Amino acid sequence: MSKLIRSVLLGISLSFALSACATAPEDPVEREIYEQANDPAQPVNEAIFEFNMAVDRGILRPVAKAYEFVLPDLVRDGIRNFLRHLRTPVIAANDILQGEFARAGDTLGRFAFNTTMGLGGIFDPAGEAGVEFHEEDFGQTLAVWGVDEGPYLMLPLLGPSSGRDLVGLIVDTGLDPFQWWSYNSEKWVIENNSTIRAVATAIDTRSRNYQQIEDLEETSLDFYAAVRSLYRQQRNSLINNGSENDVVPDIGFDDDLDGFYDDEGSDDQQASLTE
């Protein structure tokens, strides 16, 4: 298991330990808001969120801006294509587990075509031919199987999540053949490939979205609540195989949680998203 995953699990264990002391408010209105937010560990989650934002401002944001400035669009597109290509086994496995056999066929077809005609996934001729990339993970699979979302969580470095998506993250790690490859290699790049991919994905994604995130932060009355709300919206869209367009990605080091999302606007009672 990578150091990144171990640190996340340690942070989650601490979050659960501290949140066990949380109690719901007695006032009926406040209690309804509390239950709809489904964020029993909010004080801990907010502290982790501030830590993530500090990492973003101090490290990720300047690195992402430099990455965008130095590398031309063609190179950055090639990096994104390759990172997506490496996620194909996990995506295909979850397509099958959800009974989405046509989408699984598209995923495997993309992989074969882009491996051969796209120089190992650096280019995306399959997408240009109309077979576009889609994201699937085991958190989405659990939702399709009817598993409840569980409490909202803010993971150190990885960003917004939920009890269901945390389980999904762990299972996807086990489904990833490149993760298993790392256990049987002493080469540094292979041994740490999951962490390298996660960091590269975060930098590339952040470089494409830093203005949207800054705008959201500037216009939100409660940035933390806005992130929680948008996270759930995005997850619901992905679970229902909806559009992935116009998504503000998360400030984290993992593409499994590719967004600030939200659920059915339940957080609107807590905070308006814009002034």
Span of 35-49, 58-72, 231-245, 257-271 with lowest mean pLDDT: 257-271
Q: Please give the pLDDT value at position 182.
A: 81
Res 59 pLDDT > 50: yes
152 pairs with which residues across the strands? 162
Span 84-138, pLDDT tens digits: 999 999 999 999 999 999 999 999 999 999 999 999 999 999 999 999 999 999 9
pLDDT (0 to 100) of residue 213: 87
Residues 6+ apart with CB under 8 A from 181: 190, 193
pLDDT at 260 over 60: no
pLDDT above 90 as % of the chain = 63
Whether pLDDT at 256 is above 80: no
Mean pLDDT of the chain: 82
Q: What is the Cα–Cα distance from 40 to 248, expressed in whole angstroms?
A: 25
pTM of the model: 0.80
User: How far is C-alpha 64 from the chain's CA centre?
Assistant: 17
Q: pLDDT tens across 157-171, in order?
A: 999 999 999 999 999
Please check the confidence at residue 271 and state whether its pLDDT lies above 70. no
- pLDDT 10s digits, 22-56: 566 656 666 667 678 899 999 999 999 999 999 99
pLDDT at residue 28, as a whole number: 60
